[in-house]
Amino acid sequence: MTRRLLLTLALVLMTLQSANAEKCLFVSSYHQGYDWADGIEEGVREVLVGQCDFKQINMDTKRNKSTAYITAKALEIKAFIEQWKPDVVIVADDNASKYLVKPYFRNSDLPFVFCGINWTVAEYGYPYDNATGMIEVAPIRQMYELVKSVNPQATVAYYLGADTLTEEKSFYRYQRAARKYNIKLINRLSRSLLEWQQAFQEAQNGDFIILGTKSGINDWDDKKAYAIVQENGRTLSLTAYEWMVQYAILGMTKVPQEQGIWAAKVALEILAGAKPRDIPIIPNQQWDMLINVSLLNSSKVTLPESFLIKSKKVYASE
């Protein structure tokens, strides 16, 4: 058998294997370059690439927020699904479930695994017979207990973030929990960096600050924001987002890779015969403890030595 014939047979075999491979589609609500979405994608790809015929579509709804755009994008992805016919679909973050899965694939024959949905899935009607997933929650109780251990007299806090639906949703969760600790949480959501700067300066009057995400503040500038925080930050600031730790003293941060890895492993279970309805919906289980040493040193905040020892150190700079 000639070398050319062997090569031809190998190519034919590879083509047949590709044609018969089970198909996995990953739909991200956001865009590549957004830290949270990138982390989920990293986890999904780590597990699935090489295990199935893998494709990804990004809805890009963080930068394109109009209902008209999102609805049109969802219809475009629906058409792709009907044409490509994946065997399982992973959807990340809220908008993919809200605009794609719920209206077009609820209780259909196509299995879905969702991840990254904030706090609750009730508004999307999950669970479905054909869907399961992991919700995204922040360690709110742990944050408040930490603050009270550092400052038992803390009664007033500010919540700073982008003026988006996701951040409104997060604020109300933090606010509801704050009442249990006799803390008044003041909402300051911003559309611009200037508004965020004014809110941050005002928040110095509180006992501590919770930083939501910057995503949705379209004129955000990392260097300017860091300068604002370094110059004005004199009270304890906390965040649940890893990419916001450069602007906060303390991070108790969610791990997006956890969401992607879990969803991808569940997708493989489904390809092996598991039914989505038999797999429980669960919250995330992991978070990292981070201290921004640069901002801690430039502020007047003192943290317990025991906490400094057990936390990871981050050194942020301009």
What is the 8-class DSSP label of residue 114? E
Query: Tokens 């500010």 sit at which residue?
Result: 158
8 Å CB contact between 159 and 202: no
Q: Could you tell me the CATH superfamily of domain 3-137+256-283?
A: Response regulator (3.40.50.2300)
Q: How does pLDDT run across 31-79, given as a tens digit for each residue?
A: 999 888 999 999 999 999 999 999 999 999 988 989 999 999 999 999 9
Burial class from Cβ neighbours inside 10 Å (0-12, 13-18, 19+) for residue 17 reads: exposed
């959501």: which residue's tokens?
189
Which tokens is 276 given?
A: 């989505």
Name the CATH code of domain 140-254+287-314 (choices 3.40.50.300, 3.40.50.2300, 3.40.630.10, 3.50.50.60).
Answer: 3.40.50.2300
Domain parsing of the chain, residue ranges: 3-137+256-283, 140-254+287-314
Find where tokens 């009057």 sit: 205
Contact between residue 253 and residue 240 where contact means Cβ atoms under 8 Å apart: yes
Fold agreement (3-137+256-283, 140-254+287-314): yes
Helix, coil or strand: residue 313? strand
Angstrom CA distances, 193 to 89, 198, 228, stand at 37, 9, 10
Give the integer Cα–Cα distance in Å for 7 and 12.
9
pLDDT in tens, 248-290: 999 988 889 999 999 999 999 999 999 999 999 999 988 888 8
Q: Which residues contact 152 (CB under 8 A, 6 or more apart)?
A: none
Q: What is the pTM (predicted TM-score) of this model?
A: 0.72
Question: Is the distance from CB of 255 to CB of 287 less than 8 angstroms?
Answer: yes
